[in-house]
Amino acid sequence: MCGIAGILSLRTGNPDLKNWLQNMTNILRHRGPDDEGFTFFTNDEIECTGGKDTPANVYESRYPFSPQLITHNSQPTTALGHRRLSILDTSAAGHQPMCDVSKRYWIVFNGEIYNYKEVKAELLFLGHIFFSHSDTEVIIQAYIAWGKDCVLKFNGMWSFAIYDATEKSFFCSRDRFGVKPFYYFISPEYFAFASELKALVSLPFIDKKLNEKAVFDYLVIGQTELESEGFFKNILELEPSYNLFLKDGKVIKQKYYTLPYNSKNETFSEKKKNEYVGQVSFLIYEAVKLRLRSDVPVGACLSGGIDSSALVCTANNLRNGTDPFHVFTSVFPGSSVDESFWAKKVVEATGAKWHTIETKPSQIFEDYESLIYAQDIPFFGSSTLSQSNVMKLVHDTGIKVTLDGQGADELFSGYGQHFYVKGLNDLQNFNFKELLNLDSSGASSTREFTRFLLKKSLNLWPERLEFKLLKESKYDLQLLNQKFTKNNQNRFHLEKAFLTSNLNQHLYNEYSGPPLKYLMRTADRNSMRYSVESRVPFADDHKLAEYMFSIPSAYKIHQGTSKYLLRESMKGVIPDAIRLRKDKKGFVTPELKWFKEYKNELKGLVTENLEPFVDTKLLYKNWDQIFEQKITGNTLGISRFVILSMWRRKFGL
């Protein structure tokens, strides 16, 4: 797990590329404090250098082109930079930028290819020679062997750039489901890329400008990065499942993977259920087994729910080690959202070493500013802060790698709205027996299902009327600037893509779209902020995902039970008290209570920089009224105003 950066001057060499690149990698240091490396290309000359975090043994390494202590006053046209968090092959042989023996192909890579041993065995059979035990070298040799199709061989998470020093071209790729980030900028003069936005906006040739469309998506639709251009204008995101090719100053993007899904209606069969359960159990076992491959200790984040419990118990069964398995939990003593009672059951069942941390409301004022910088873009609520604190605890304990349960809700069907999607399908197919199970689902049942049907009906209405009705139902939207909402109300079509009565299609929209990608982006910034690698078996194992999406919807929710196949596959693996509970709240904090308690302090965090989007005078005037209403949900609309205002100040926008 690392930080990558690169700059290509498309017209002439530029001596400033060296300083610019070093500044970018310094900004990314938290992603890889174990090593740093730079490679500069000037015509036919190649210059490799290190920095203050480059270990001495890297300079002594003979693989196959080690950095030099002396730098030359060249004017490079291309610059590659890397910050390394050493996980696989922690020796000097894993240093990056890495090249093949011919010195034609150079790679900077962020992520992990979990099946690198299997791919390496295939390459060895083809006659390829290796100098290290790293997965990075497997990628570069796989590219030499199979070209762009090499990514189809990989099971893992990745973003990387391979530079062809002969063709003066780039091949870049991002993993199937967007676990690892890749952002880039292109103009007639420069091409640049980096793992995080803050590194790119540090470049002097990039003019920082705010994208109003992204602000609307955040405040109104409740989504981020719906399109390749996000909060910063002219900085683009390479989407999941895409490769990027750059040659002669032109960028070409190509989608290399599409997750197939079964959209057919099928009646539940006990015989097929047993077959599905057996295979799901096997695939979870294999996914966790691959993600325990590491040359440094691996721990796990543990809530009180089935997702993280499944990973902790499976990993514990696989490890067979004498050292205890370290697990980490966010707790809120005395609060209704505290999950420590349930997490303790898993700890007792596994004998794991348990670490807990409490996030307090005062941290909103103490830590939000630094968290906003770490996250790069506005986030949703204090659960992000809580997750960040867990990762700090992981780092302070000396663990470098964690297993995390994100993606299970989208994969196995665990959110409340999934009941309503299935309920609509049951209604359309006159399956009243299953429809009656809504009331035993623990998903707020009938009332919420009615709201879902009303929202679905809005799909047929004009956007202007749709927004008017939405404003009447959500007080915070009544505070938005009228010109701002009028200019962007046509963006509601982006939300409508998620409205469907087919459960597998709905899950596909979440798993392959912005909802899961947002969770992955948030988790990446929170973990890498503290130099921790977060591995997500439910979100990036394509074999498990493809099998789950091949199973008809009837088996995802059955008899009012969510995550039916996951629960059944975990029989005898996790405590039944966890496996059968239906009141799991997700990763939440007592935010509603906190915000009401600190409403006056929060008011001081909101400034007039919101004026283009929010009627700040009305907001200040009605501040107390906002907190007097009956507000439900974990994240208040007002939270977005606070975070957006702080984010604009932090990034000077």
The interaxial angle of helices 503-511 and 514-528, nearest 10 deg, is 40
Amino acid at 313: C
Contacts of residue 553, Cβ cutoff 8 Å, sequence gap at least 6? 262, 265, 266, 422, 425, 502, 503, 504
- Rounded to a whole number of angstroms, the CA Rg of the chain reads 25
Instruction: Identify the CA nearest to 235 among candidates 199, 204, 197.
Output: 197
* 99 in active site: no
Residue in this structure with the two tokens 């929209």, named with its chain if needed: 509
Q: Mutual orientation of helices 270-291 and 306-319 as an angle, nearest 10°?
A: 60
The owner of tokens 């057919």 is: 264
Q: Please answer whether residues 159 and 4 qualify as being in contact, where contact means their C-beta atoms are separated by less than 8 angstroms.
A: yes
DSSP assigned state of 27? H
Q: Which two tokens stand for residue 362?
A: 């005062």
What b/e readout covers 171-209, taking b as 16+ CB neighbours within 10 angstroms? Answer: bbbbbbbbbbbbbbbbeeebbbbbbbbbbbbbbeebeee
Residue 267, Cβ neighbours under 10 Å: how many? 9
Q: Say if CB 232 and CB 652 are below 8 A apart.
A: no
Question: Tokens for 325?
Answer: 């398995």
Listed in sequence order, the residues at least 6 apart from 118 whose beta carbon sits closer than 8 Å to its beta carbon are none
Report CA-CA distances (Å) from 242 to 153, 237, 255, 458.
Answer: 15, 10, 4, 33
φ, ψ of residue 247 to 5 degrees: the values are -150, 135
3-state secondary structure 373-426: HHHCCCCCCCHHHHHHHHHHHHHHHCCCEEECCCCHHHHHCCCHHHHHHHHHHH
Q: Beta strand pairing status for 401-403 and 533-535?
A: parallel
Cβ–Cβ < 8 Å for 178, 520: yes
Q: Is residue 189 a contact partner of residue 16, using CB atoms and an 8 Å limit?
A: no
To which residue do tokens 């994240």 refer? 635
Q: Which tokens sit at 370?
A: 């630094």
Query: Of 393, 359, 345, which is closest to residue 579 (Cα–Cα)?
Result: 345
Token pair in block for residue 238: 């390479």
Length of the chain: 653
Specify the amino acid at residue 131: F
Q: How far from the centroid of its chain's Cα atoms is residue 179's Cα?
A: 5
CA distance readout (Å), 323 to 26, 316, 319: 35, 11, 9
Q: One of 2, 48, 99, 301 is an active-site residue; which one? A: 2
Residue holding tokens 């500069």? Answer: 40
Parallel, antiparallel, or unpaired: how do β-strands 242-247 and 250-255 relate? antiparallel
Active site amino acids: 2
